[in-house]
Amino acid sequence: MRVMVLIKANEQSERGEMPSEKLLTEMTTFNEELVKAGVMLAGEGLHPSAKGIRVQFRGSERKVIDGPFAETKELLAGYWIWEVKSLDEAVEWVRRMPAPDDAADTATVEIRPVFEAEDFGDELTPELREREAALRAQTEGA
């Protein structure tokens, strides 16, 4: 199964401060472990929300809001996409992650399973499949 591992922001990441050299080294080692185990599919760190933009939808209205955003603990600082055998395996990998710089600061990592085709079940059929087919006919009909 595929999971997205979400690394929540903290005050340090939101200030745009780089982690210590020690943490960076540990993170690099951890990433190498993930690659060597064949678990890592993708992963990136994100700039602080100060460089981010939100687009808010309300009815037909679209409002563009510049960062930074409040509620630091709900923001993201990075993500991975892993291929694992079970959620338990993902939990075990997360346990092996290096600890954050500030031992007093709480850091949260969230694991979310990615939808697989079978999760959609009947909902993708038949109307959505028909729409897909129509879309295909349009793109290929030229």
Partner 1 sequence: MAAADVKRTIEAVWRIESTRLIAGLARLVRDVGLAEDLAQEALVAALEQWPQAGVPDNPGAWLMATAKHRAIDRLRRADVHRRKTEELGRELELWGEADVPDLAAEAADPFDDDVLRLIVTACHPVLSVEARVALTLRLLAGLTTKEIARAYLVAEATVQQRIVRAKRTLAAAHVPIEVPERGELPERLASVLEAIYLIFNEGYAATAGDEWLRPELLQEALRLGRMLAALLPAEPEVHGLSALMELQASRARARVGPDGEPILLLDQDRSRWDWMLVGRGLAALKRAYATGGAFGTYTLQAAIAACHARARTAQDTDWVKIVALYDGLAQVAPSPVVELNRAVAVGMAFGPAQALRLVDELADEPALSGYHLLPTVRGDLLEKLGRLADARAEFERALTLAQNAREHSVLLRRIARCCARG
- Where along the sequence are the contacts to partner 1 (CB under 8 A)? 32, 35-42, 81, 83, 85-86, 88-89, 91-93, 96, 117, 124-126, 129, 132-133, 135-136, 139-140
The residue among 68 and 81 lying less far from partner 1, judged by its C-beta, is: 81
Three-state helix/strand/coil letters over 68-109: CCCCHHHCEEEEEEEECCCHHHHHHHHHCCCCCCCCCCCCCE
The residue among 37 and 65 lying less far from partner 1, judged by its C-beta, is: 37
Shortest separation between residue 100's beta carbon and partner 1, angstroms: 18
Distance CA 48, CA 67 (A): 9
Q: Which DSSP category does 140 fall into?
A: H
Contact 112, 6 (CB under 8 A): yes
The residue among 11 and 132 lying less far from partner 1, judged by its C-beta, is: 132
Shortest separation between residue 73's beta carbon and partner 1, angstroms: 26
Shortest separation between residue 78's beta carbon and partner 1, angstroms: 17
Shortest separation between residue 122's beta carbon and partner 1, angstroms: 9
CB burial class (10 A; 0-12, 13-18, 19+) of residue 80?
buried
